[in-house]
Structure 1
Amino acid sequence: MKTEDTRAIFTAVFAGSIVLANVLAAKLTWIELPGLGGVAVPAGFVAFGVAYLASDLLVEYHGKEYAATVVNGTVVTLVIAYALVFLAIWMPSAPFYGGQEAFVSTLGGSASIILASVVALAAAQHLDVRLFANLKSRTGGRHRWIRNCGSTAISQGVDTVVFITLGFAIFPALGLGGDPTWGWALVSIVAGQYIVKLLVALIDTLPFYAVTEFVERPT
């Protein structure tokens, strides 16, 4: 596959998955973990996994500098997407339109969650890019599973801690929406969501190998 093709495809998949994941996060889904019970996670967790796969592939084939640029562009895209959503909410509804309340409840997130998602995205994705590149260098380009799993597992942890702490505790405490959550309740949310994301990171290794084999096969 041509270099320009992979660059365009991985960039589009990354940006699209991030924006879609934040839309899907409006729904909470219930995941049963054997021996641990159930945990509520945003329905966008699979889309976030796809985004991490795409960012790792960007670093693998196009370097950390380009991948970091894509992350910055996607953060800007997400902010613009939120702005357009709130513009659509603000627009007056047609007299016969009866879905405004559902539209607002689905897409109109609280200020604390929106700010937390943007900050977590920037912090975690830049960390993922740097970790992946560093692990690739340290292993001499071998053992792809190490850089794929290692970078994603660590950065997903940072994403979870930053997002939950800011969105459910710090920002609400500053008056940006809802009542703050502290203590064990906050820890349990972080732990439950991270376990699910960690499982996705491990499963992510299979498509990572499949895509790299496809990209590098002789044409």
Structure 2
Amino acid sequence: MSSSTAAAQPDREIHYASRGSSYFDVILALFCVVLVVSNIAATKGTQFFSGDLTIGPVTILPIYSDGGAILFPLAYILGDVISEVYGFRAARRAILVGFGTALIAFATFLIAMKLPSASFYENQDAFESVVWSGVRIVGASMVAYLTGQFLNSYVLVRMKARSSEPGLWRRLIGSTGVGEAADTFIFCAIAAGAIGITTGGQFVNYFVVGFVFKVTVEILVSPVTMLVIRQLKSREPSYWA
């Protein structure tokens, strides 16, 4: 082996930090909060722009979405950070813990709904309406979340195995594109009826808008994501060990 080849060899090593770190704990906690809050917010369907514009069977205007779109892209950004810095096993743990916290949150809402209402409480019907619509939302979110997040993490880690440290931006965008496509399609297919999406044209609008929005957010904040990743790599003693 030549000296130049030997010198280049360390750059091809794949590095990950130990997940037994306070940084990982904070990211994991934030990841779980994002997922739980997004599931609650997703029970509200949203509509932007007036008018009635269609091309063939596809609805162009108005644009349909849901309240979960406010925060859910952050789940993929955090998933990228965990996968890149801590590896697939850490990402798998984060995904499963997030799944468990979402189930606990929804089970709490179901139990609260069944508790006897106080005489002064006048919102029982509204509360039940939101919780029952949430059954389908949570089911859709869980199936989509598990599929999308595992694909996102797997693709990112496989891309890192091929390129090592270079190519971070490509890994972030490529993995997000795959994960968000699967996540958004599965979620929209299951949850559309729960928020009032009833036609095929509305569904295509709902899916395309959701996918484009999430990937666009990822692209726009990718400089910040890369900065966070680089800072974590420099601060985690075990990353370069």
Same fold (TM over 0.5): yes
Whole-Å Cα distance in 2 between the matches of residues 215 and 142 of structure 1? 16
CA pair 80-147 structure 1, distance change in 2 beyond 3 A: same
TM-score if structure 2 supplies the norm length? Answer: 0.76
Q: How many aligned residue pairs are there?
A: 209
Q: Post-superposition shift, 1:208?
A: 0.5
SS for the counterpart of 1:44 is: helix
Whole-Å Cα distance in 1 between the matches of residues 216 and 195 of structure 2? 30
- Match among 211, 219, 227 for residue 194 of structure 1: 211
Q: Does 1:9 align with 2:26?
A: yes
Tell me if the contact between 1:28 and 1:42 (Cα under 8 Å) persists in the aligned partners.
Answer: yes
Identity among equivalent positions (%) equals 25
Q: Does 1:49 align with 2:73?
A: yes
Stretch moving more, 11-20 or 191-200: 191-200
SS for the counterpart of 2:99 is: helix
Whole-Å Cα distance in 2 between the matches of residues 218 and 117 of structure 1? 34
Whole-Å Cα distance in 2 between the matches of residues 180 and 47 of structure 1? 21
Q: Post-superposition shift, 1:109?
A: 2.1
Whole-Å Cα distance in 2 between the matches of residues 25 and 112 of structure 1? 11
Matched residue, 1:164: 188
Greater relative contact order (Cα 8 A, min sep 6): structure 1 or 2?
A: 2
Stretch moving more, 208-217 or 69-78: 208-217
Give ranges in structure 1 of 5+ residues lacking alignment: 170-176
Q: Does 1:96 align with 2:113?
A: no
CA pair 99-180 structure 1, distance change in 2 beyond 3 A: closer
> One-letter code of the match for 1:40?
Y
Stretch moving more, 121-130 or 205-214: 205-214
TM-score if structure 1 supplies the norm length? Answer: 0.83
CA pair 102-208 structure 1, distance change in 2 beyond 3 A: same
Quote the RMSD (CA, aligned, Å).
2.7
> One-letter code of the match for 1:153?
G
Matched residue, 1:67: 91
Matched residue, 1:25: 42
Give ranges in structure 2 of 5+ residues lacking alignment: 1-17, 50-59, 237-241
Tell me if the contact between 2:45 and 2:196 (Cα under 8 Å) persists in the aligned partners.
Answer: no
Give per-residue Cα distances to partners, 1:59-84, cap 9 Å, x unaligned.
Answer: 12211012112211211221221111
Q: Does 1:118 align with 2:142?
A: yes
